């Protein structure tokens, strides 16, 4: 058996043993008598839940989040580009304007669809 396989098998045995050791320690020391009432309530910042958690949200929130994600990606890609702008050349400038044009087109589309209007 190669030494690399011996090391792999040893690590797997240690990892599996560690997992089962943790389960055993939790089973040994965890309390087994949960109180009735408050202990069994769903915790929501100290407030009692007053409605079902599985409610339907307006799709507008989802689309607004996706629009935010698009502009978050824009910021992630623009910052490194701005740092090394002087070494990239004119081709990178054209590519960045193409990237910004695609994002602006998405923003205009979202605005015309009414995604950015909350009411």
Q: 78-91, pLDDT tens digit by residue?
A: 888 778 877 888 88
115: pLDDT strictly greater than 60: yes
- Token digits of residue 34: 């949960």
Mean pLDDT of the chain: 80
Give me the pLDDT at residue 118, please.
66
Measured distance CA(19)–CA(17) in Å, rounded: 5
Give me the pLDDT at residue 114, please.
78
110: pLDDT strictly greater than 60: yes
92 contacts: CB under 8 Å, gap ≥ 6:
81, 85
pTM above 0.75, yes or no: no
Q: 3-46, pLDDT tens digit by residue?
A: 678 888 999 999 999 999 999 999 999 877 666 666 666 665 66
Q: Burial level of 40, CB count in 10 A (0-12/13-18/19+)? A: exposed
Measured distance CA(99)–CA(79) in Å, rounded: 13
């Amino acid at each position: 058996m190669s030494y690399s396989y011996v090391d792999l098998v040893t690590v797997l045995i240690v990892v599996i043993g560690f997992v089962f050791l943790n389960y055993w320690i939790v089973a040994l020391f965890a309390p087994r008598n949960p109180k009735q009432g408050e202990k069994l309530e769903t915790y929501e910042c100290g407030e009692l839940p007053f409605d079902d958690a599985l409610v339907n949200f307006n799709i507008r929130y989802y689309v607004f989040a996706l629009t935010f994600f698009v502009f978050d990606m824009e910021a992630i890609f623009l910052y490194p580009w701005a740092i090394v702008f002087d070494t990239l050349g004119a081709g990178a400038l054209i590519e960045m304007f193409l990237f910004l044009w695609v994002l602006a087109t998405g923003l205009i589309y979202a605005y015309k669809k009414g995604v950015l209007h909350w009411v």
